[in-house]
Amino acid sequence: MGSIESPLCVALEHGNIPVAHLLVKMGANTTSMGRNGYTPIVPAMTPVNPEKCCVTGVKLLLECGVPVNDVVVAAKQQRAIHVAVSHNLPPVVSFLLQMDADPNVGDINGHTPLHLAIGCNFDNIVNLLVLHKVDLYKENIRGESPLILAIKRQNLKNIETLIKNGYDPNKINSVESFLPLHAAALFCKLDIIKLLVNLGANVNLTSKLWGTPLHALASKLPELSHVINQVQEQKDIAEFLVKKGAELNVADDSMNTPLHIAVKSGYLGLAKHFVTMGAHVDSRLIAGETLFHKVVLLNHDIIEKLLEYGGNFNVSNKQGFTPYHLAIMNKVDVRFIKSFVKHGCPYNQKVSIWNNVVKKCNRDTQLFFNAEKRFFKGIKENNLELVKSAVTDGAVLTGRSEGMMYPLHYVAKNGYKELLVYFLQQKFPPNVLNRQDETPLYLAAKQGNYEICCILLRYGACYNFCSNKCPKTPLKVAHEFDQKKIMFLLRRVNKMFALSRSNESLIVSKLESKQKIDILEYLVFANAINVRGHSLMETAFFYKNTTIAQAMLKLRLNCEL
pLDDT band, very low/low/confident/very high, at 525 (cuts 50, 70, 90):
confident
User: What's the gap between Cα 392 and its chain centre?
Assistant: 36
pLDDT of residue 13: 84
Spatial distance between the Cα atoms of 473 and 467, rounded to a whole number of angstroms: 9
- 323 neighbors 313 (Cβ within 8 angstroms): yes
Domains of the chain in sequence order: 408-558 (1.25.40.20)
Note the maximum CA span of the chain: 126
Percent of the chain exceeding pLDDT 90 equals 59
Q: Is pLDDT above 70 for 176?
A: no
Integer Cα distance of 475 and 446 in angstroms: 9
Is 277:241 a contact under the CB 8 Å cutoff?
no
Q: Is 15 left (phi over 0), alpha (psi -120 to 50) or beta?
A: left
The one-character DSSP state at 401 is B
Least confident of 267-276, 496-505, 526-535: 496-505
Separation between Cα atoms, residue 272 and residue 401, nearest integer Å? 29
Residue predicted with more confidence, 282 or 514: 282
- How many Å from the N-terminal Cα to the C-terminal Cα in the chain? 92
Q: What is the pLDDT of residue 1?
A: 43
- Residue 236 to residues 272, 281, 552: CA-CA distances in angstroms? 13, 21, 46
**Per-residue pLDDT averaged across 523-547, rounded?**
85
Higher pLDDT: 520 or 261? It is 261
d(CA 486, CA 482): 9
Query: In Å, how far from its chain's centre is CA 540?
Result: 42
* pTM score over 0.85: no
Average pLDDT on 315-327 reads 89
Q: What percent of the chain has pLDDT over 70?
A: 89
Residue-level pLDDT at 282:
72
What is the average pLDDT across 371-396? Answer: 97
Reported as a pLDDT band with limits 50, 70 and 90, residue 303 is confident
Q: pLDDT class for 230, splitting at 50, 70, 90?
A: confident
**pLDDT tens-place string over residues 59-94:** 999 999 899 999 999 999 999 999 999 999 999 999
> Which among 347, 397, 337, 350 has a CA at the least distance from the CA of 373?
347
Helix axes 407-414 and 417-425, enclosed angle (nearest 10): 140
How many Å apart are CA 235 and CA 190, to the nearest integer? Answer: 10
Question: C-alpha dihedral over 188, 190, 196, 202, to 10 degrees?
Answer: 70
pLDDT at 2: 44
Helical ranges in 39-109 per DSSP H: 51-63, 80-86, 90-98
Q: Distance from CA of residue 376 to its chain's centroid?
A: 38
Mean pLDDT, residues 504-529 taken together: 62
3-state helix/strand/coil string of 109-177: CCCCHHHHHHHCCCHHHHHHHHCCCCCCCCCCCCCCCHHHHHHHCCCHHHHHHHHHCCCCCCCCCCCCC
Cα separation, 538 vs 496, whole angstroms: 12
3-state secondary structure of 346: coil
Around 37, how many Cα atoms within 13 Å sit in the side-chain half-sphere? Answer: 6
Return mean pLDDT, the chain: 88
Q: Which helix (H) or strand (E) holds 72?
A: strand 71-73
Q: Is the confidence at residue 520, as pLDDT, over 70?
A: no
Q: How far apart are CA 552 and CA 525, in angstroms?
A: 11
Helix, strand or coil, per DSSP, at residue 532: coil
Confidence (pLDDT) at 16:
86
Distance CA 276, CA 274 (A): 6
pLDDT per residue as tens digits for the range 248-294: 999 888 778 999 888 888 888 898 899 889 888 776 665 567 778 87
Using CA atoms, how far apart are residues 490 and 439, in angstroms rounded to an integer?
Answer: 15
CB contact at 8 A, 528 and 462: yes
Cβ-count burial 224-249 (b if 16+ within 10 Å, e if not): eeebeebbebbbbbbeebbebebebe
Residue 561 pLDDT level (bands cut at 50, 70, 90)? very low
Q: Give me the pLDDT at residue 299, please.
A: 59
Residue 385 has pLDDT above 70, yes or no: yes
Return the half-sphere exposure (C-beta side, CA atoms, 13 A cut-off) of residue 152.
Answer: 14
**Average pLDDT score over residue span 186-196:** 94
DSSP H or E run through 491: helix 484-501
With contact defined as beta carbons under 8 Å apart, do 99 and 133 qualify?
A: no
**Residues in a beta bridge with 71:** 79
Report how far residue 378's alpha carbon sits from residue 198's, in angstroms, rounded to the nearest whole number.
64
Mean pLDDT along residues 505-518: 55
> Would you place residue 510 in the very low, low, confident or very high pLDDT band (cuts 50, 70, 90)?
low
* Alpha carbon distance 335, 365 (integer Å): 9
Instruction: Determine whether 114 is exposed, middle or buried from the number of CB atoms within 10 Å of its CB (0-12, 13-18, 19+).
Output: buried
Q: Is the pLDDT of residue 343 over 80?
A: yes
